[in-house]
Chains A and B, each alone.
Chain A
């Protein structure tokens, strides 16, 4: 990997007896999209908050472009943009004022061209003079992204950018993230959604209980973990599976009304489908399902629940 844009070495964060981050080492390469995956309370937000300067590490070192985030905070914060998980807005001001203030905090005079570019890219041009209070939830979330981009950061942290947003907005945000990456912005996004990581990420870091469990390329992770399940709904229930299907790893579900078969990535459902056809079962429906994030976690965490933690 070339010189990392973000480097964490032994970074820990403790709140009393609770360890939110435990000696984390992580490098983020220039121009990549890194997805931080993990359940609630895993430490994802704490990790990016330390780099953005919002939280102080209890131990370890975090740097951006080779500069320490505490000692050289003026430099590193100018290089970082943070889109927080929770929507925030200042009800006293308009969209334009909000963006201009945010640029000013970073010592940047927002040019008219840059302002228009951000407003157009985030579909907020029509709301330029609207009070932020009047924006819809989706618009407020887009405004958060605009605020994080006004100073043209080298690294953009997106904390659960699509949590609770509708499909259309999600697609828009993904498209914009890709556009930013194509312009050279390094992006770190936290997400619960494997689908989001699949869609966007070059690499994936899985974090749980404050520890980074693995960091690897998305394609490799999906190859290892992202199996599929074939589900055949039957018109009439079965009492037992024929031996041929059983040998393929198939199982009965829904009281015999469905047959399910798992396949590793790259594996084929052809033999199972052929066996069903050969057996002459009346088929009602056929669907495939990619492994969910929960499936991945269960696998990576060695059978742990990976459930919510405060």
Chain B
């Protein structure tokens, strides 16, 4: 085990996103705060409550999930892709770091960014809606699993990508639409039948619902499904990223 190597790569990745806090921490905070203000405050004043929960408090878990997913994904994706582009990925590939150590360091740093962004968003939102969390340990576990899964997806995407456009394919065309249709801003039980069907066919819906249950103590869907989806996502994405890294595809000639 190259413990110092792992810690060094993690530290480098962690410090990398802290070097550009405006882009990595402030930008998602501003974006999500705007969601919160527009949907939670202005629209929320009309909707009042969803299943007995104030609307602003109802949407907060989904917004935190959106922030965690996007930032965990973008951290590993953009970092690895820039390393490929700049040629500095060589520095890691010629080192005695194992595949697991390389992937682990990238994922851990991406999870850390997801947690920091999600945490900041939670604090800002909770300041207006209350800090109570029904199941804090499960909420943290869920966030860790989801962040690890999307960090691994980011790693996979960056390995495959030949352009920034390709790096942005997943967040733009998959994650954002699925999140918006994943019950962040509405309850599936209150949605029209077609939207309800679409929502319930969406795996991200179950992640949002599981976090909502962990935070609010209630949700439309069973939290067990959400935890199972998170576990399956994290497990399959990490295994796939490990297998691709080990194969050398697009990284080792």
Which of B94-102, B128-136, B144-152 forms part of the interface with chain A? B94-102
Contact with A105, one of B92, B252, B253 (Cβ below 8 angstroms): B92
Of all chain A residues, the one with the shortest Cβ separation from B102 is A105
Contact with A104, one of B5, B93, B98 (Cβ below 8 angstroms): B5
Q: Do residues B4 and A107 form an inter-chain contact, with CB atoms below 8 A?
A: yes
Q: For residues 59 through 100 of chain B, which have their beta carbon under 8 Å from a beta carbon of chain A?
A: 83, 86-88, 90-98
Is A84 engaged at the interface, CB distance under 8 Å to the other chain? yes
Q: How far is the CA of A54 from the CA of B252 in the complex (A)?
A: 6
- Interface core residue of B94, B252, B253 (most chain A CB under 10 Å): B94
User: Residues of B within 8 Å of A, CB-based: how many?
Assistant: 29
Is B9 engaged at the interface, CB distance under 8 Å to the other chain? yes
- Residues of A close to B93: CB separation below 8 A: 53-54
Main secondary structure of the interface of B (DSSP, over half): helix
Q: How far is the CA of A104 from the CA of B97 in the complex (A)?
A: 10
User: Residues of A within 8 Å of B, CB-based: how many?
Assistant: 36
- Residues of B close to A91: CB separation below 8 A: 86
Given A49-B253, A56-B253, A106-B96, decide whether A101 and B90 contact each other with a Cβ distance below 8 A. Answer: no
Is A86 engaged at the interface, CB distance under 8 Å to the other chain? yes
Is A73 engaged at the interface, CB distance under 8 Å to the other chain? yes
Interface string of B2-24 (1 = CB under 8 A from A): 11110111011001100110000
Q: Do residues A89 and B88 form an inter-chain contact, with CB atoms below 8 A?
A: yes
Contact with B90, one of A80, A82, A92 (Cβ below 8 angstroms): A82
Q: Do residues A88 and B8 form an inter-chain contact, with CB atoms below 8 A?
A: no
Is B248 engaged at the interface, CB distance under 8 Å to the other chain? yes
Of all chain A residues, the one with the shortest Cβ separation from B95 is A105
Q: How far is the CA of A92 from the CA of B9 in the complex (A)?
A: 14
Q: Do residues A54 and B2 form an inter-chain contact, with CB atoms below 8 A?
A: no
Q: Do residues A90 and B94 form an inter-chain contact, with CB atoms below 8 A?
A: no
> How close is B70's CB to chain A, nearest CB, in angstroms?
21
- Residues of A close to B8: CB separation below 8 A: 100-101, 103-105
Q: Which residues of A contact B (CB under 8 A)?
A: 13, 15, 46, 49, 52-56, 73-75, 77-78, 80, 82, 84, 86-93, 100-109, 147
